[in-house]
Amino acid sequence: MNEEKKAVNVTEQTARKWLHERGVEIQDIADLVFFLQEKYHPKLKMEDCIHNVERVLSKREVQNAILTGIQLDMLAEEKKLLEPLQSIIATDEGLYGADEVLALSIVNVYGSIGFTNFGYIDKLKPGILKDLNDKSSGRCHTFLDDIVGAIAAAASSRLAHSAENAE
């Protein structure tokens, strides 16, 4: 059991570290949650958004998706994938949907409202999502932008469910 807990800690620590190294902070994701929920919760506080992002990040399924997606982005940056996958991921080809499918595994954790939040935020690309989609940076964020949007959508869903339970 102790070894299992240690492995969980390493997984979560690595996922959080990689998010940070790729330019994504908890506050960036919380800003997206606020963007998604402010019109539904007039008294919404940023600390509530941060709390819900933290809870989503504590889920092992979410950590695994973060590690998988970021690793694929890094391999694409290093040109270590075989063709045609290398070009598909490096250019974030429009018909490639595996990045969204991986992100949906995160959204799935908190129910159907997360799907609509994810689709909405993925289309608008506000805040950090705009930065992650900027191809001029030289970095590949094919998976990361969807993962960050999915974490925000899941945290928004979690927030919506907890607000409903409070009423």
Whole-number average pLDDT of the chain: 93
Tell me which residue range forms the domain holding 77: 25-37+45-166
The answer as to whether 10 is a domain residue is no
The answer as to whether 120 is a domain residue is yes
> Which pLDDT tens digit goes with each residue over 27-39?
999 999 999 999 9
The average pLDDT across 117-133 equals 96
What is the pTM (predicted TM-score) of this model? 0.93
pLDDT at 167: 47
Rounded Cα gap, residues 80 and 10, in angstroms: 25
Q: Give buried/exposed letters for 140-167 (b at 16+ CB in 10 A, else e).
A: bbbbbbbbbbbbbbbbbbbbbeeeeeee
Among 121, 148, 145, 150, CA closest to 133: 145
pLDDT at 6: 66
> Which pLDDT tens digit goes with each residue over 97-124?
999 999 999 998 888 889 999 999 999 9
**Three-state secondary structure string covering 86-105:** HHHHHHCCCCCCHHHHHHHH
Contact 118, 153 (CB under 8 A): yes
Contact 66, 107 (CB under 8 A): no
Q: How many domains does the chain have?
A: 1
The answer as to whether 5 is a domain residue is no
Rounded Cα gap, residues 90 and 63, in angstroms: 23
The average pLDDT across 5-25 equals 90
pLDDT at 54: 97
The answer as to whether 11 is a domain residue is no
> Which pLDDT tens digit goes with each residue over 58-105?
999 999 999 999 999 999 999 999 999 999 999 999 999 999 999 999
Q: What is the CATH number of the domain that holds 64?
A: 1.10.3760.10
pLDDT at 5 over 80: no
The answer as to whether 67 is a domain residue is yes
The average pLDDT across 8-28 equals 95
pLDDT at 160: 87
Confidence of residue 2 (pLDDT cuts 50, 70, 90): low
